[in-house]
Structure 1
């Protein structure tokens, strides 16, 4: 159900309404998430046309009012907004310059993805702007493409890229919920390789820097993060050790579920790590599997389990149910 307001009411009765806590689990509904982002562009025409002018909420299309972003006359000029976390993006609305030169935007590509390679201009395409009128706000449906970055680029042309507003509508595709979790593992190699080192937000893959979790040489070594409540998990990203011994992680299983039976190692499998390179961060799609616990385990082997970072992307799943008794206040005059 979609709404800004949640009411609890007992209709038609004289009664005390008692609520010790109300927890509401959900995600923001399809708002303009670009407003909270960070913008950049290939160059800046002048001090009044910085990249952030295209995400300031001002729909004025008169360039002279100072409400539009603009690059220099670049080859393949680009503009990008970093949404700060991945979103499922339903649509992008672009307001073009209205007082002059509106045809400059024709042929621009709208790209969405999670990569900053080539300044984000290698990400998949949502749409190409075939034509646009002066000051018109055109809507481009992106069908829930997932990405942290939205780029607008005019490939292969010498051109000014002018954008008076870019609105990006979507909902979170999931944040790294492991950062708020609690980690344990089957054993600990030394005092600087505790389980929580794999959820500290540090992507350094050098074991000697003390940022990686590591067990001793166990049989079926395992590591687990408790997300503290069930989540719908879209993906798990694992950063392997980079300075040595990266092949030790091959064959590890990623498990997701709500059971702690056998330390969580009986939960369903999201993926098996068939191969992984040194210090590489591999992404495993888990297709909204639901669970409170994410385990990584190497079944049936004598092995060290080394994890320099485990990122779990998802959203809370489920709701809290509680029951209230029918008793009134227990002290005279209380309510």
Structure 2
């Protein structure tokens, strides 16, 4: 005998109710992002504001695998967006091509890659690119162990180096700018994809020196001291700051930061398109909020137009460059 509930609802209604929850779950809209720990604070800030604006209708996940780790996932089709603190490399381009994945390259901010020391270090007032090279070049491994070996006026104290791991775009950019070849570095240093680990290492060792994005220094300036950089012999030392990045005087460690959007997702997944529109509309304010350097308004306008065109490709061709300007970069993508 059927219950009154069954009689009143009818068999069809019961069947429909059984499938209601799985159908809703299947329709859940998610934007998947992974990549650079340097770009993470910007994207995380954008994701938080976007999800508030959408009132839970779209979920955004943001991981930190490093630029290289993020591209591996992106080129396997596991993410919609990849954050990068350096441009996509030839091997990553090839991996994406093999998987049939096209990408749209979008610069979103500038960063001052910052060299830091322990606040108790009272002997280093500035550092030259040549001295950084002497510390970090592959030839230094196992041989350059003290500060005095780098500069005779510095003390004979142990030199303890801290830097991003090999999957980091910051590692790639720093080695390109300082050593002259991406990924060319001594290997006997404390490496981590987590910038907070590097902060802890330098702040707890008087002989420590490390490098990472400006925002992590600014957030921990009570524990660290930024070292002014002398780009060329005879040039003045310049400290990292939003102003010196914008006026082009902080060289060679100023760099653009990127997001790469899966071109298919960007064109055919409404939630991804909505998120990127929101990202570019709010990038200037949120970039500044998390202590990075926004692009000038004219450059954001150019990036927005590039995004609207959904034009895939990269302005770098798989070869890292130091000092490239955003308008020139976008003009290269035909």
| Structure with greater strand share of residues | 1
Larger RCO (alpha carbons 8 Å, 6+ apart)? 2
Is the pair's TM-score, using the shorter chain for normalization, greater than 0.5?
no
For Structure 1 versus Structure 2, the TM-score category normalised by the shorter chain is under 0.3
Larger CA Rg, structure 1 vs 2:
1
| Structure with greater helix share of residues | 2
Scaled by the length of structure 2, the TM-score of the pair is 0.23
Scaled by the length of structure 1, the TM-score of the pair is 0.23
